[in-house]
């Protein structure tokens, strides 16, 4: 069986981690994988996480199985974080289960959709996160795409998006990014969310919202505008959340899959289908990350500390956007990169060619995805001059 295999290329995002790690150039810059970094290039453990982790070590009394739902307290708290005080909660029409990270949530969503509707098509934004297509195809869904980013004008192609979505057949699924669109950094405005929601209502497609960056865009509440609106206006919404970025819990693999149904009865039935999907894949999610998040969100003091730490991460990314644009100007670059400051979250496209990206990697040890997506958190006061200088040389 194994002898006939051919080796697959490294994952376009995760492969960069390895290549960067093996590079011995002291000036190397990592703008690849979307992880927060401080000015020293380190991805720290949040102080609130450290405290919550110690609390868990001192207080955990059993490692008994937790079941396919994961920890109910985490599920309650994480859906409150997304929805706030929302009708969906008072009407008891949402159900959440914990998942192994946001990617696990997306795969559960894919398998759940397949179980509900075997011939479903999922519509992905063009572009979208590099792993979306692979994981939804692996779940057996048909893939289609709608225009999203206008590469030439470095902005949203909202007319193109609306016109494509108005042709989506009823019952299909449309994947939307709640905030911090990965990879373009272009988010929908409130008015645009309202228009897409009205279209979903009119055409009868179901939104699946990927919310991997709540709190990294404008703030915890602001970033939840789209999911809150859709859950209020529509009978059915699916939502995948992640605690990798906003709690810095990357390797603990903790996220959530939430389904919103027309009423509590339908939600119960749909939840039983989602739980059977989980049981047939990984049976039950890991518990450690969920316990950390629950400990933080159940403590006013730790929640306050988390809000501060999250704001610091968000502010640093916004500052880095300015820093890069200023330094490109200082290097005499005439091309207008100011769009980077108008985008939001962890990523933007530099808008350079794959060949120029390859030169930046091979000749300057500056790592990014070949679409020229850069992870803004990898910029620092120390590396920005070298970075801007190198980009200037390569695009000249
Ligand atoms: C990214 O897009 O870089 C992150 O979401 C990490 C990943 O798993 O790809």
Structural domains of the chain sorted by starting position, each given as residue range(s) with its CATH number in brackets: 11-44+302-395 (3.90.1150.10), 65-298 (3.40.640.10)
Nearest CA to ligand 1 atom 2: 34
Positive or negative torsion for Cα 204, 205, 206, 211:
negative
HSE value, Cβ hemisphere, 13 Å, CA-based, for 24:
0
Rounded to whole angstroms, how far apart are CA atoms 390 and 358? Answer: 12
For ligand 1, the distance from its centroid to the CA atom of residue 89, given in whole angstroms, is 30
The beta strand positions in 148-254, using DSSP E, are 149-150, 155-156, 173-177, 206-211, 237-242
Ligand 1: list residues with CB < 6 Å: 13, 33-34, 129, 131, 182
Among 28, 30, 37, 129, which one carries the catalytic annotation? 129
- Which conformational region is residue 33 in: left (phi greater than 0), alpha (psi within -120 to 50 degrees), or beta? beta
How far does residue 264's CA lie from ligand 1's centre (Å)? 34
What mean pLDDT is reported for the chain? Answer: 97
pLDDT for position 47: 98
Q: How far is the CA of 92 from the centre of ligand 1 (A)?
A: 32
Confidence at residue 209, expressed as pLDDT on a 0 to 100 scale: 98
pLDDT given for residue 206 in this prediction: 98
Q: Is 41 helix (H, G, I), strand (E, B) or coil?
A: coil
If you average pLDDT over residues 247-268, what whole number do you get? 98
Confidence tier at 336 by pLDDT (50, 70, 90): very high
Mutate to test the pocket of ligand 1, among 33, 185, 248, 254 (most ligand atoms within 8 A of CB): 33
341-354 mean pLDDT:
96
**Whole-angstrom Cα distance, residue 80 to residue 272?**
21
Spacing, Cα 90 to ligand 1 middle (Å) = 34
Residue 158, pLDDT score: 98
Query: By the 8 A CB rule, do 362 and 389 touch?
Result: no
> 208 C-alpha to center of ligand 1: Å?
18
Q: What angle do CA 195, 200, 202 make, to 5 degrees?
A: 95
The mean pLDDT value for 368-392 works out to: 97
- Long-range pairs of 128-135 with CB within 8 A, sequence gap ≥ 24: 128/175, 128/177, 128/182, 128/183, 129/177, 129/182, 129/183, 129/210, 130/11, 130/12, 130/13, 130/183, 130/369, 131/11, 131/13, 131/103, 131/106, 132/106, 132/175, 132/210, 135/103, 135/106, 135/107, 135/110
Contact call for residues 146 and 161 (beta carbons, < 8 A):
yes
High-pLDDT (> 70) share of the chain, %: 100
* Residue 120 pLDDT: 93
342 pLDDT tier (thresholds 50, 70, 90) = very high
129 is catalytic: yes
pLDDT in tens, 74-99: 999 999 999 999 899 999 999 999 99
C-beta of residue 219 within 8 angstroms of C-beta of residue 16: no
The closest residue, in CA terms, to atom 4 on ligand 1 is 34
Please state, as a whole number, how many other Cβ atoms lie within 10 Å of the Cβ of residue 15: 15
Q: Over the stretch 260-305, which tens digit does the pLDDT of each residue have?
A: 999 999 999 999 999 999 999 999 999 999 999 999 999 999 999 9
pLDDT of residue 80: 96
Residue nearest to atom 9 of ligand 1 (CA): 13
Nearest Cα residue to 88 out of 194, 299, 189, 238: 238
Identify which of 14, 32, 34, 245 to mutate to test ligand 1's pocket (most ligand atoms within 8 A of the CB). 34
Among 10, 12, 13, residue to substitute to test ligand 1 (most atoms within 8 Å of Cβ): 13
Q: Can 37 be counted among the known catalytic residues?
A: no
Average pLDDT of span 247-267:
98
pLDDT of residue 135: 97
Residue with CA closest to ligand 1 atom 5: 34
Q: Which of 157, 172, 210, 223 is catalytic?
A: 210
pLDDT score of 100: 98
When pLDDT is averaged across residues 217-241 and rounded to a whole number, the result is: 98
187 included as an active-site residue: no
Amino acid 187: pLDDT: 98
Ligand 1 centroid from CA 301, angstroms: 30
CA pair distance 226, 22, nearest whole angstrom: 40
């Amino acid at each position: 069986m194994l002898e006939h295999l051919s080796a697959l290329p490294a994952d376009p995002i995760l492969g960069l981690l390895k290549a960067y790690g093996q590079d011995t150039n002291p000036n190397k810059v990592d703008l690849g994988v979307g992880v927060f970094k401080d000015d020293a290039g380190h991805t720290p453990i949040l102080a609130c996480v450290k405290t919550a982790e110690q609390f868990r070590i001192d207080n955990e009394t059993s490692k008994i199985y937790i079941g396919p739902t994961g920890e109910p307290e985490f599920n309650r708290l994480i859906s409150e974080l997304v929805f706030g005080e929302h009708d969906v909660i008072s009407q008891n029409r949402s159900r959440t289960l914990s998942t192994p990270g946001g990617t696990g949530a997306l795969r559960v969503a894919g398998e759940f959709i397949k179980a509900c509707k075997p011939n479903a098509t999922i519509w992905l934004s063009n572009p979208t996160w590099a792993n979306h297509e692979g994981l939804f195809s692996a779940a057996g869904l048909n893939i289609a795409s709608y225009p999203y980013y206008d590469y030439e004008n470095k902005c949203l192609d909202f007319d193109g998006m609306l016109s494509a979505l108005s042709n989506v057949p009823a019952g299909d699924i449309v994947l939307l990014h709640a905030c911090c669109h990965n990879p373009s950094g272009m988010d929908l405005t409130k008015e645009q969310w309202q228009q897409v929601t009205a279209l979903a209502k009119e055409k009868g497609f179901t939104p699946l919202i990927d919310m991997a960056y709540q709190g990294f865009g404008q703030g915890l509440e602001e970033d939840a505008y789209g999911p809150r609106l859709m859950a209020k206006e529509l009978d059915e919404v699916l939502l995948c959340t992640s605690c990798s970025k906003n709690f810095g819990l990357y390797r603990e693999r903790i996220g959530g899959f939430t389904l919103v149904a027309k009423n509590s009865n339908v939600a119960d039935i749909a939840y039983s289908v989602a739980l059977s999907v989980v049981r047939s894949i990984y049976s039950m999610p890991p518990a450690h990350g969920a316990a950390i998040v629950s400990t933080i969100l159940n403590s006013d003091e730790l929640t306050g500390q988390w809000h501060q730490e999250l704001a610091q991460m968000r502010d640093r990314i916004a500052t880095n956007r300015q820093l890069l644009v200023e330094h490109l100007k200082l290097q005499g670059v005439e091309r207008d990169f100011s769009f980077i400051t108008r985008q939001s979250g962890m990523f933007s496209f530099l808008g350079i060619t794959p060949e120029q990206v390859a030169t930046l990697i091979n000749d300057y040890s500056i790592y990014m995805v070949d679409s020229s997506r850069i992870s803004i958190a990898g910029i620092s006061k120390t590396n920005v001059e070298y970075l801007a200088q190198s980009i200037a040389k390569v695009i000249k």
